[in-house]
Amino acid sequence: MPIDILMPALSPTMEEGKLAKWLKKEGDQVKAGDIIAEIETDKATMEVEAVDEGVLAKILVPDGSENVAVNTPIGIIAAEGEDVSAAAAADPAKINPAAPAPAAEAPRQEAAAPTAPAEEAPAAGKPASVPAQAKAYDASSEFPAGAEIVSMTVREALRDAMAEEMRRDQDVFVMGEEVAEYQGAYKVTQGLLQEFGAKRVIDTPITEHGFAGIGVGAALSGLKPIVEFMTFNFAMQAIDQIINSAAKTLYMSGGQMGCPIVFRGPNGAAARVAAQHSHDYAAWYSNVPGLKVVMPYSASDAKGLLKSAIRDPNPVIFLENEIMYGKSFDVPKGDDFLVPIGKAKVVRPGADVTIVSFGIGMTHALGAAEALAQEGIDAEVIDLRTIRPMDIETVIASVQKTHRCVAVEEGFPQSGVTAEIGMRIMEAAFDYLDAPVARVTGKDVPMPYAANLEKLALPNVGEVVAAAKAVCYR
């Protein structure tokens, strides 16, 4: 079977070039690897090697031809004794129908078509596929029926979630700075070393980029690491492994390489620790396909969501908050309590205005709802719980009822999570709104150290109340 020699590309962007010179004549014997021609572009020169052995049956494009398109047949190699005249006479395109069409652009356009699954972000510019009457997720049955309810801190809930999952699955292990002997810089891993031993509760050196990568590698091979960052500020050292390795490998491997890993630790402002230790990364990670991003507020959500995160076959960014660690909430007893990732929760039903937040932002949202009740405004408060995938439908269902929305976060305003919430509401429920969506965020400044400035930099109940009144025109 005669084989086409195609005009090769010297670089990913090359579209055409010059066939400078043939180094073999028609009728010459060629072996695989023999250099048969030279081609040129304005940037470089390259030698063309024969890919098979046989006879150079026909030269289709002569020496010195300019503007030869990549993938054009430039010659034909035939087997010894083969009827080269027939090959030479044939239409090049028919001789080698398998020659790839120069259609690299085509699939890219297709990918932009609005075929995104309902839960994921709709393609740019396309309205979200939220039904005309959205349905809120019903979290009322999350607590198992008849389960004993105990009060525990967020810290204890996180610890129990890890301990239960480590008992259940030998592949789960914890690594991070000071997680073992010191019992956790914030005591979240208290007692784990004693119960599970040093092989499964591992103190690392201060080498975030390295141990995050080691965690991702272990996850690619099937283990289920929980990587603790002492705070998410330090995950900045490791963010390349989180984004480029953990988030993208499943896609790049065509679905072969799942990465079941949890990156967790305190996120956002603590108290008076200034700009390098106070950053809220919710919006950052929420920007990345291939990650799930969870940011619980209550202890029960912390527990139920962390257990789901550990069982999840995907990389999950689990954002905690130092100030919340010591706060107590009702939590159902028992190992089988799970909270699904990707579902928001209506924590306070109301009719007049929707306040949506997540993580520590919920303290401002709930505080504002109380204060607004005093003034006769009945706020519905939604805890997003998961940032990505975002349960916008529960928010929309609420907005269809209240027609007003205030979104609250401690992070920065530009490209923040509340910016996303506002946009998604506009895309899906613009006609339901009686006022523009308002947001209350951290101020657009690095976190200052001084006590008075730090207070000004963070959102507070008063700002949420004011925003709620503004959207109610009160």
- Does 234 contact ligand TPP by CB under 6 A? yes
Give the active site residue among 156, 208, 322, 427.
208
Note if 279 is an active site residue: no
Nearest to 298 by CA among 348, 260, 263, 229: 348
**Candidate ranges 84-92, 127-135, 314-322, 438-446; the one touching other proteins (CB under 8 A):** 438-446
**Candidate ranges 150-158, 202-210, 294-302, 425-433; the one touching other proteins (CB under 8 A):** 202-210
DSSP β-ladder status, 54-59 and 29-30: antiparallel
Nearest distance, CB of residue 189 and ligand TPP, angstroms = 15
Nearest distance, CB of residue 467 and other proteins, angstroms = 19
- Does 237 contact ligand TPP by CB under 6 A? yes
- Sign, Cα dihedral of 311, 316, 317, 319: negative
Beta-bridge partner residues of 440? 408
Note if 277 is an active site residue: yes
- The pattern of x and - marking residues 150 through 179 that bind ligand TPP according to CB under 6 A reads ---------------------------x--
DSSP β-ladder status, 149-153 and 386-388: unpaired
- How many CB atoms neighbour CB 431 within 10 A? 8
- Does 383 contact ligand TPP by CB under 6 A? no
CA distance 70 to 362: 58
- Does 449 contact other proteins by CB under 8 A? yes
**Candidate ranges 153-161, 230-238, 428-436, 439-447; the one touching ligand TPP (CB under 6 A):** 230-238
| Given 443, 460, 463, 469, the residue binding other proteins (CB under 8 A) | 443
Give the active site residue among 156, 164, 277, 320.
277
| Given 4, 156, 165, 177, the residue binding other proteins (CB under 8 A) | 177
| Given 203, 327, 433, 469, the residue binding other proteins (CB under 8 A) | 203
- Please list every residue from 268 through 297 that binds ligand TPP, using CB under 6 A: none
Nearest to ligand TPP of 231, 386 (CB atom): 231
- Does 210 contact other proteins by CB under 8 A? yes
Judged by the rule CB under 6 A, the positions of this chain that interact with ligand TPP are 177, 206, 208, 230, 234, 237
Binding footprint of other proteins on the chain (CB under 8 A): 177-178, 181-182, 185, 203-207, 209-210, 233-234, 236-237, 270-277, 443-446, 448-453, 456-457
Mind telling me the catalytic residues? 208, 277
